[in-house]
Amino acid sequence: MHALRKLHTALRPLGVLLDIHPEPQHAVVEIRTADQTIAVGQVDQTQDIGEIASARAALRQVLAEGLFILERELTFDFVRHFESVETWLAYRAERKSRGTIADETLARSRALLAQAPGELCVRGGVRAAGYRKA
């Protein structure tokens, strides 16, 4: 919340705060081929979901204090595409991604990608909102 107050000060009158953050939900793992999309599991993001709740509480607080006015919010799917399970796991390791993935999800993904050309996609909901400085 301290950061939000600092950002309020940094904005010019009627300036806009654009906040983009994930929805509090587990991301869906899919295998997409030319013919079909198969959901194979999810990324358990329980810890991240807890932090999202805290972040939203901070936003509600500054709105309640009258620092910002919510103008509009939109949600959309953000999809990360990977050519293989290994590429995905390396990406996660590089970013020290949290969240856990069941072995079954990885095994099924590898099996499906071995059967036909395709890609592994991780699809998560994202919320974007524009707040006008009050």
Partner 1 sequence: MPIALDPEQAETRVMHTLVDFTGTDVLEVGCGDGRLTWRFAEQARAVLALDPEASAIATAQASCPAHLLQKVTFETADITIVELAPAAYEVVVLSWSLC
Binding site for partner 1 (CB under 8 A): 2-3, 6-7, 9-13, 15-22, 48, 51-52, 54-56, 58-59, 71-72, 74, 76-84, 87, 91, 126, 128-130
Q: Is the dihedral of CA 11, 132, 21, 6 positive or negative?
A: positive
We find the least distance from the C-beta atom of residue 18 to partner 1, in angstroms, to be 5
Nearer to partner 1, 32 or 104 (CB): 32
We find the least distance from the C-beta atom of residue 28 to partner 1, in angstroms, to be 15
Q: Residue 68: how many CB atoms within 10 A of its CB?
A: 23
C-alpha to C-alpha distance for 86 and 92, rounded to whole angstroms: 10
Nearer to partner 1, 25 or 104 (CB): 25
Nearer to partner 1, 11 or 102 (CB): 11
We find the least distance from the C-beta atom of residue 54 to partner 1, in angstroms, to be 7
What pairing do the DSSP bridges indicate for beta strands 68-82 and 118-133?
A: antiparallel
Element (H, E) at 56: helix 46-64
We find the least distance from the C-beta atom of residue 59 to partner 1, in angstroms, to be 7
We find the least distance from the C-beta atom of residue 42 to partner 1, in angstroms, to be 19
The C-alpha angle with vertex 55 and arms to 101 and 97, in degrees rounded to 5, equals: 25
Q: Which of 82, 81, 73 has the alpha carbon at shortest distance from 126?
A: 73
Nearer to partner 1, 88 or 104 (CB): 88
